[in-house]
């Protein structure tokens, strides 16, 4: 009967109890689907064994792209396409190009990184998130365990592990 | 389990739990608009409508409607531009620089300060745009777009063009930074709502689920955006000051301008944040979130930046004398004792003397005194820009072209328009968006409140 349900949920009230619980549940050989929190819990990603985000790399590459675009654009326009003598100086007035280069670097880095973040986290205005428990955006942390992924583990063991590690409630949830 | 530091006062008072945080802040979004909010909106909209008459007059008749003349080509418009941009510096400073410095008290005020930044930058951008005379053409000419004149490109050697890039980058990056922070809070409101509000906030929340992986990426994005926005916020007013500093006008041609303008911008921005937050916390009963501690810390920032501005005024004056350049010396004597002496001394009183009152703990922990002084500071900062711009221009190199600048009713009207616009936007924000970042408050709650759960 209960095998029809997809997920077992452990509800936690406190971030430190949650972090311990994640460690204990994983040590018991249970795979965690995801933990949902109302706010960022520092250190939780390490307990869950997530790899460090590569968004900083994306930001750097986008920044490099911005710098290249800005310098190419300014040298092309001011030096090659229509050279003009301004203040008797060189057409390619490199120091004068720095402010715009800086601004475009920041602009492309910021927008590129945020774009990657939106895509990788599947954030879009028409996105319909799977909500396991409405309280997970309010005051509770929700640990979701996918039953299908833990076929080898007995349901009672999963529930017991959640209870013992400090969950205030243990529920189940299914999505049609 | 509870960790309370014996040294520091809690950031959030009143023993709030996570649930209380959600309730206290989401309540304003969900409830019916209050009477004071409706009155505020009606007043702002009226000011906006009256001011828009002046704006329409300018667009219809041209900038001949303003008090500018052959000698004074920049006056109210650019004063207002620099003033609004300066105000727009506090938001990103609070959210980015204080994030990098790990100042947890920023969480209570960053959302509203960033909103203020965005609206202030829009107000600022209006002035150079309409000063172009035909903004519908000028807005295109200001960008490096291919055109039928060659293409004849924009001049990348000009600080005015750098400004186009600086302001638009600053605006769009601040907007993105602000919105990323709003997404988790929109999700909280979505999960409390039903019907149409659920649909609207569902779309605004971009399908946020609060998973640990998403939070990890969110934290990474916030930190890098802060890292990018920190030099950005310093660059914007630096570039605005280049508009003056790279010219050869006595009184403008100074290398001190970039740091002096940035300090002035933070100074006026914090003053505006204080004016707005003192009213908001009272009207929305958020005294437990924006505490006296927050107000005092902001007042300390005002003392620091106000003192930097004061030193900059004196340095400028000293260098004018020390340079031995007669025109430079005259420009400064004229500021102090010329026909605009009252503007100069208003600036000195409001910006240099009044913030020094915050050295007294009684004054910097008094709501009334803080509110009054925050407005005084912004009056002073408006005069600072007026003094720099108008007094440097009105006595030209040729005494035959010496004139006075008098604003017209249209000048005043457009300034009013920006006020109406600013307050209308801020009121709409305060009603329909969570004014305090709930997720970030919850994240610091455990280390800074008496308890977190019932």
Find chain A residues with C-beta within 8 A of B443's C-beta: 39-41
Per-residue confidence (pLDDT) for residue B7, from 0 to 100: 63
Task: Tell me the pLDDT tens digit for each residue of B23-81.
Answer: 888 888 888 888 889 999 999 999 999 999 999 999 999 889 999 998 999 999 999 99
Q: Is A113 on the interface with B (CB under 8 A)?
A: yes
Which of the four pLDDT bands, split at 50, 70 and 90, describes residue B452? Answer: low
Contact in structure between B240 and B79 (CB atoms under 8 Å): no
Residues A76-91: b if buried by 16+ CB within 10 A, e if exposed: ebbbeeeeeeeeeeee
How many CB pairs (< 8 A) connect A and B?
Answer: 197
- Residues in chain B with CB shorter than 8 Å from the CB of A71 are none
State the Cα–Cα distance between residues A17 and B351, nearest whole angstrom. Answer: 51
DSSP state of A30: P
Rounded to a whole number, what is the largest CA-CA distance in chain B? 78
Query: In this model, does residue B147 exceed pLDDT 90?
Result: no
- pLDDT tens digits along B304-352: 999 999 999 999 999 999 999 988 999 999 999 999 999 999 999 999 9
B138: left (phi over 0), alpha (psi -120 to 50) or beta: alpha
User: What letter does residue B211 receive in the DSSP assignment?
Assistant: B
Which domains can be identified in chain A, with CATH numbers?
2-52+131-173 (3.30.70), 55-120 (no CATH)
Question: What pLDDT, on the 0 to 100 scale, is given for residue B16?
Answer: 82
Q: In chain B, what percentage of residues exceed pLDDT 70?
A: 96
| pLDDT more than 70, % of chain A | 97
Handedness of CA B446, B447, B449, B451 (dihedral sign): positive
**Any idea which residue has 């977190």 for tokens?**
B452
Token readout for B335 is 């500021």
Identify whether the C-beta of residue B414 lies closer than 8 Å to the C-beta of residue B54. Answer: yes
For β-strands A34-36 and A141-146, DSSP reports them as: antiparallel
Structure tokens at B320: 């004018």
**3-class secondary-structure state, position A9:** strand
B138 burial type by CB count under 10 A (0-12 exposed, 13-18 middle, 19+ buried): middle
**Averaged pLDDT for residues B224-251:** 91
- Across the interface, whether the CB atoms of A139 and B19 are under 8 A apart is answered yes
Closest among B65, B150, B72, B10 to B390, alpha carbons compared: B72
Contacts of B240 (CB under 8 A, 6+ apart): B82, B85, B163, B166, B261
Residue A3 clears pLDDT 70, i.e. is over it: no
Over residues A60-74, the mean pLDDT reads: 95
B387-412 residue pLDDT tens: 999 999 999 888 899 999 999 999 99
Computed over every residue of chain A, the mean pLDDT equals 87
Whether B449 contacts B12, CB under 8 Å: yes
For residue B268, which of B117, B454, B446 has the smallest C-alpha distance? Answer: B117
Indicate the DSSP class of residue A10. Answer: E
* Beta strand ranges found along chain A (DSSP E): 7-12, 34-36, 141-146, 169-173
Report the C-alpha gap between A144 and A135 in whole angstroms.
Answer: 13
Tokens of A39: 């706010």
ipTM over 0.95: no
CB of A69 less than 8 A from some CB of B: no
Q: Do A110 and B173 touch (CB under 8 A)?
A: yes
CB contact under 8 A, A110 and B176: yes
* Contact: B190, A137; criterion CB under 8 Å: yes
Rounded Cα gap, residues B245 and B104, in angstroms? 36
B204, B182 Cβ separation under 8 angstroms: yes
Sheet containing strand A7-12, edge to edge, reads: A34-36, A141-146, A7-12, A169-173
Q: Which of B8, B2, B5 is nearest to B294 (CA)?
A: B8
**Contacting A residues, span 145-174, partner chain B, CB-CB under 8 Å:** none
| Interface contact A100, partner B, CB < 8 A | yes
The string of pLDDT tens digits covering residues B177-233 is 999 999 999 999 998 888 888 889 989 999 898 888 999 999 999 999 999 998 999
| Bridging pattern class, strands A34-36 and A7-12 | unpaired
Please, which residues have CB within 8 angstroms of residue B282's CB and are 6 or more apart in sequence?
A: none
Contacts of A134 in chain B (CB under 8 A): 191-192
A124–B207: do the CB atoms touch at under 8 Å? Answer: yes
Q: Report the mean per-residue pLDDT for chain B.
A: 89
DSSP string, B110-128: HHHHHHHHHHHHHHHHHHH
**What was the pLDDT predicted at A1?**
40
Contact: B153, A77; criterion CB under 8 Å:
yes
Rounded (5°) CA angle B382-B49-B32: 100
Q: Which residues neighbour B405 within 8 Å (Cβ) at sequence distance 6 or greater? A: B67, B68, B69, B72, B75, B390, B393, B394
Residue in A33, A37, A31, A32 with CA at minimum distance from that of residue A15: A37
Residue pLDDT, tens place only, B124-140: 999 999 998 888 888 88
pLDDT of residue A159: 85
Among B143, B137, B48, B65, CA closest to B410: B65
Q: Which residue has the higher pLDDT, B108 or A99?
A: A99
What pLDDT is attached to residue B448? 60
Q: Which residues of B are less than 8 Å from A103 in CB distance?
A: 162, 165-166, 169, 232, 235
The Cα B127–Cα B278 span in angstroms is 28
> Can you tell me which residue has the tokens 């018991």?
A28
**At B82, is the pLDDT very low, low, confident or very high (cuts 50, 70, 90)?**
very high
Least CB–CB distance from A38: residue in B206, B210, B228: B210
| Distance to chain B for A85, nearest Cα, Å | 11
Q: Is the distance from CB of A73 to CB of A81 less than 8 angstroms?
A: no
* Closest residue to A74, CB basis, from B156, B212, B215: B156
Give how far the C-alpha of residue A17 lies from the chain's centroid of Cα atoms, to the nearest Å: 23
């Amino acid at each position: 009967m209960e095998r029809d349900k997809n997920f077992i949920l452990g509800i936690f009230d406190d971030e430190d109890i949650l972090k311990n619980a994640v460690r204990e549940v994983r040590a018991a050989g249970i795979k965690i689907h995801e933990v949902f929190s109302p706010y960022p819990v520092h250190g939780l990603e390490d307990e869950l064994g997530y790899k460090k985000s590569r968004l900083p790399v994306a930001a750097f590459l986008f920044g490099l792209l911005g710098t290249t675009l800005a310098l190419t654009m300014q040298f092309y326009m001011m030096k090659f396409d229509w050279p003009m003598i301004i203040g008797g100086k060189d057409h390619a007035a490199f120091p004068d190009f720095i402010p715009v280069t800086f601004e475009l670097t920041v602009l492309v880095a910021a927008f590129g990184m945020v774009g990657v973040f939106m895509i990788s986290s599947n954030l879009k205005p028409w996105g319909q998130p799977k909500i396991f428990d409405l309280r997970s955006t309010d005051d509770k942390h929700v640990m979701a365990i996918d039953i299908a992924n833990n076929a080898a583990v007995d349901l009672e063991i999963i529930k017991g592990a959640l209870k013992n590690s400090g969950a205030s409630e243990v529920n189940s949830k299914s999505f049609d | 389990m509870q960790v309370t530091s014996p040294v520091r006062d809690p950031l959030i008072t009143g023993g709030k739990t996570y649930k209380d945080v959600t309730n206290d802040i989401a309540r304003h979004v969900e409830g019916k608009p209050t009477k004071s909010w409706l009155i505020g909106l009606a007043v702002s909209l009226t000011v906006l409508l009256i001011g828009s008459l002046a704006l329409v007059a300018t667009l219809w008749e041209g900038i001949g409607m303003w008090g500018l003349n052959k000698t004074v080509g920049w006056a109210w418009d650019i004063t207002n531009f620099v003033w609004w941009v300066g105000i727009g510096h506090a938001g990103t400073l609070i959210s980015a620089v204080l994030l990098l410095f790990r100042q947890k008290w920023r969480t209570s005020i960053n959302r509203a300060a960033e909103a203020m930044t965005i609206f202030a930058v829009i107000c600022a951008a209006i002035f150079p745009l309409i000063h172009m005379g035909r903004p519908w053409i000028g807005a295109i000419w200001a960008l490096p777009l291919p055109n039928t004149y060659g293409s004849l490109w924009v001049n990348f050697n000009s600080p005015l063009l750098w400004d186009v890039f600086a302001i638009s980058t600053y605006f769009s990056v601040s907007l993105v930074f602000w919105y990323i922070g709003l997404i988790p809070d929109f999700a909280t409101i979505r999960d409390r709502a039903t019907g149409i509000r659920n649909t609207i906030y569902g779309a605004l929340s971009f399908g946020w689920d609060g998973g640990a992986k998403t939070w990890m990426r969110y934290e990474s994005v916030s930190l890098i955006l802060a890292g990018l926005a920190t030099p950005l916020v310093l660059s914007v007013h630096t570039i605005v000051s280049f508009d003056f500093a790279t010219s050869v006008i006595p009184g403008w041609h100074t290398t001190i301008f970039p740091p002096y303008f940035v300090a002035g911008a933070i100074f006026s921005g914090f003053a505006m944040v204080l004016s707005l937050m003192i009213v908001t916390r009272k009207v929305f009963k958020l005294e437990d979130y924006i505490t006296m501690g927050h107000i005092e810390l902001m007042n300390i920032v005002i003392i620091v930046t106000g003192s930097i501005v004061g030193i900059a005024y004196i340095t400028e004056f000293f260098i004018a004398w020390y340079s031995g350049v007669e025109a430079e010396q005259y420009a400064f004597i004229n500021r102090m004792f010329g026909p605009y002496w009252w503007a100069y001394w208003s600036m000195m009183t409001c910006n240099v003397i009044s913030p020094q009152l915050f050295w007294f703990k009684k004054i910097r922990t008094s709501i009334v005194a803080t509110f009054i002084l925050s407005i005084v500071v912004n009056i002073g900062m408006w005069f600072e820009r007026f003094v720099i711009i108008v007094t440097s221009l009105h006595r030209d190199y040729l005494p035959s072209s010496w004139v006075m600048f008098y604003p017209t009713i249209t000048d005043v009207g457009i300034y009013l328009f920006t006020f109406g616009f600013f307050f209308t936007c801020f009121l709409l924000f305060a009603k329909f968006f969570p004014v305090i970042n709930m997720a970030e408050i919850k994240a610091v709650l455990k280390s800074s409140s008496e308890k977190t759960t019932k």
